[in-house]
Amino acid sequence: MPARVAMQQISKIYPNGVVANHKVDFAVEKGEIHALVGENGAGKSTLMKLLYGLEQPTHGAIFLEGRRVEIANPQRAIHLGIGMVHQNFMLAPSFTIAENVVLGNEPRKGRLVDHKRAIAITAALSAKFGLQVDPTARIEATPVGMRQRAEILKTLFRGADLLILDEPTAVLTPQETDELFWAVRNLVDQGKTVIFITHKLGEVKEIADRVTVMRHGEVAGRVATREVTEADLARMMVGRAVLLSSYARPAVRGKVVAAVHNLGCIDETGRPVLRNVTFAVHAGEILGVAGVEGNGQSELVEVMAGLRAVATGEIRINGKAVQGASVREMRANGVAHIPEDRLANGVALDASIAENLVVDRYHRPPFTRYGVLWPRSVRQHATALMQQFDIRGAGPGASLRSLSGGNQQKVVAAREFSAAPVLLIAAQPTRGVDIGATEFVHGQLLAKRNAGAAVLLVSADLSEVLRLADRIVVMVKGEIAGILENGPQLTEETLGVYMLGRNRPTP
């Protein structure tokens, strides 16, 4: 039987000369769950864009069930039974789930949308595929897991029998992930085929039948998942052995560096986003902050960095009350901050590398002396940091935009790690970062901790928090649901229970 999808000798060369795919062979059998893994820039996104008709291959051919096809646009892809569930959901927030599912193909009664039938259609699809949703609920009022199911139903309603799921678990709790996996298996049982894009190797082992690993735009391997270990997959992705185990933790907890007491915060719309938050970060400790995204972690980071006003409570750094201080005052007190959205907040793309590396320190000697800025000092500083942190670029004067994504991330890391912080706030420090750079960032965080700095690590990646943190704060709806000692007994499942807010904190 011919493969459901066969992409043969696919090459994609962008007009600027970047080779995103080079002679890629990719095949998915009907009725299988096929994982597609690879580091950032490995070319898996490009490959899927070609399959979904968003881009056209430079060379090569695509076959569906043995028939050669040209997929000129997503409409054509949908017509061919290919559906894609994007990571950023494409749903109208103020519409109900049923309205979103039928959007563009609404059942009609005369000239009007037949809402009853829309709800019936959605309910029937939902029951058939075991994707539980409330058809009458508005998207904006539903949790992320249900939105994702609505998105899957939308593609199924359009007749997709090949589903591309783009990092579907990135936004889910472990429990929601389990529910999703159950639903995906159910889809396959009913004859659907699933391509599952992920970088979590544990998930590949758990859900996929086969896996294609990409590296540098080429296929590094295609294997049945039961025949390989996670370490094998990591080696295929990176091209060398990678340490995936827990790091040893010599817990030499020192004095309290940052103390947060009864912190409260209100966002721009007047909604309380932090309530009664109390915790302390000690010297020589990594305090992890876990939680489903949007539960106050980002706001906590902004408050600690001086970017957001405090409504109530206090923050002390080395005993000094600093709530309400400006960013510059916070930084003068020894706070460094790796921001969550590094490309939006952590760099200026059109400024030079050297300029990007001094934004927190340009006003101090040796950069500014006698009120004058000395470009030579700025350049020398950049040259040193580029060497120390292995930032590969044309030179300190090159624009940040000219760097690769990984090197742009390194610029942020180099600046913040070199600031000699007493408190280092790292928000999602490895998001969008490949395995090699993740190792590097983790190593630096541990080195800072071992050198006696306090580290506040906020991450949606539970395995990261469990691997690095000495203690873990779980946040739910702006409050602390629990503070847990990390250790071998602590699992993602336990954290997940706290993250869902089902376990109230014990005093």
Partner 1 sequence: MVHIKNHKALIEASRAVLVVMIALVIGFVITALVSKEPVRAYAALLTGPLPKVSFAHGVEITNLNRFGNWLEESTTLILLGLAVSLVFGARQFSLGAEGQLLLGALAAAAVAVKMPAPFPLHLLLALGAAGIVGFLWGLIPGLLKAYLAVDEIVCTLMLNVIALQLFDLVLLNWLRDPGASFLGTASFPASVVPPLLIPGTRVSWMLIVMVAAVLGVWFLMARTPFGYALKMVGANRKFAEYGGINARRVIALSMAVSGILAGLAGAHLSLGLLKRLTVSLAPGLGFEGVVVALLARNDPRGVLVTGLFYGYLRTGAQIMERSSDVTREVVLIIQAVIILLVTAERLFPSFQQWRRTRSDGGAIAIDRGLGG
List contacts with partner 1 (CB under 8 A). Answer: 38-42, 44-45, 48-49, 86-88, 166-167, 170, 197, 199, 305-307, 326-328, 330-331, 337, 339, 343-351, 355, 358-360, 362-363, 367-368, 371-375, 394-395, 401, 405, 431-432
Residue 364 Cβ vs partner 1, minimum distance, rounded to whole Å? 9
Residue 237 Cβ vs partner 1, minimum distance, rounded to whole Å? 11
- Whole-angstrom Cα distance, residue 404 to residue 406? 5
List helix spans (H) across 345-491.
Answer: 353-356, 375-388, 405-417, 435-450, 462-468
Residue 347 Cβ vs partner 1, minimum distance, rounded to whole Å? 6
Greatest alpha-carbon span in the chain: 78
- Whole-angstrom Cα distance, residue 69 to residue 89? 27
Residue 105 Cβ vs partner 1, minimum distance, rounded to whole Å? 25
Q: Which among 289, 207, 217 is positioned nearest to 39, based on CA atoms?
A: 217
Whether 346 and 400 have beta carbons less than 8 Å apart is answered as: no
Residue 176: its H or E element: helix 174-189
Residue 432 Cβ vs partner 1, minimum distance, rounded to whole Å? 5
Residue 156 Cβ vs partner 1, minimum distance, rounded to whole Å? 20
The residue among 274 and 460 lying less far from partner 1, judged by its C-beta, is 460
Residue 262 Cβ vs partner 1, minimum distance, rounded to whole Å? 26
Residue 197: its H or E element: strand 193-197
Residue 317 Cβ vs partner 1, minimum distance, rounded to whole Å? 15
- Whole-angstrom Cα distance, residue 99 to residue 157? 12
The residue among 36 and 98 lying less far from partner 1, judged by its C-beta, is 36
The residue among 326 and 388 lying less far from partner 1, judged by its C-beta, is 326
The residue among 200 and 235 lying less far from partner 1, judged by its C-beta, is 200
Sign of the torsion formed by the C-alpha atoms of 45, 49, 55 and 59: positive
The residue among 363 and 504 lying less far from partner 1, judged by its C-beta, is 363
- The structure tokens listed for 25 are 């062979």
Distance of CA 332 to CAs 318, 326, 365, 429, Å? 12, 10, 14, 22
DSSP, collapsed to helix, strand or coil, labels residue 367 as coil
Any idea of the CA torsion for 146, 150, 151, 153, to the nearest 10 degrees? Answer: 140
Residue 193 Cβ vs partner 1, minimum distance, rounded to whole Å? 18
The residue among 83 and 306 lying less far from partner 1, judged by its C-beta, is 306
The residue among 319 and 365 lying less far from partner 1, judged by its C-beta, is 365
User: Residue 316 CA to chain centroid, in angstroms?
Assistant: 30
Please give, one letter per residue, the 3-state secondary structure of 286-323: EEEEECCCCCCHHHHHHHHHCCCCCCEEEEEECCEECC
Q: In what order do the strands lie in the sheet with 335-338?
A: 335-338, 423-427, 454-458, 285-290, 471-476, 479-485
The residue among 8 and 40 lying less far from partner 1, judged by its C-beta, is 40
The residue among 275 and 308 lying less far from partner 1, judged by its C-beta, is 308
Whether 499 and 461 have beta carbons less than 8 Å apart is answered as: no
Residue 41 Cβ vs partner 1, minimum distance, rounded to whole Å? 7
State which amino acid sits at residue 55. Answer: E
Any idea of the CA torsion for 493, 495, 500, 505, to the nearest 10 degrees? Answer: 130
The residue among 4 and 342 lying less far from partner 1, judged by its C-beta, is 342
- Whole-angstrom Cα distance, residue 171 to residue 220? 27
Distance of CA 417 to CAs 95, 424, 427, 429, 454, Å? 45, 8, 13, 12, 12
The residue among 1 and 372 lying less far from partner 1, judged by its C-beta, is 372
Residue 404 Cβ vs partner 1, minimum distance, rounded to whole Å? 11
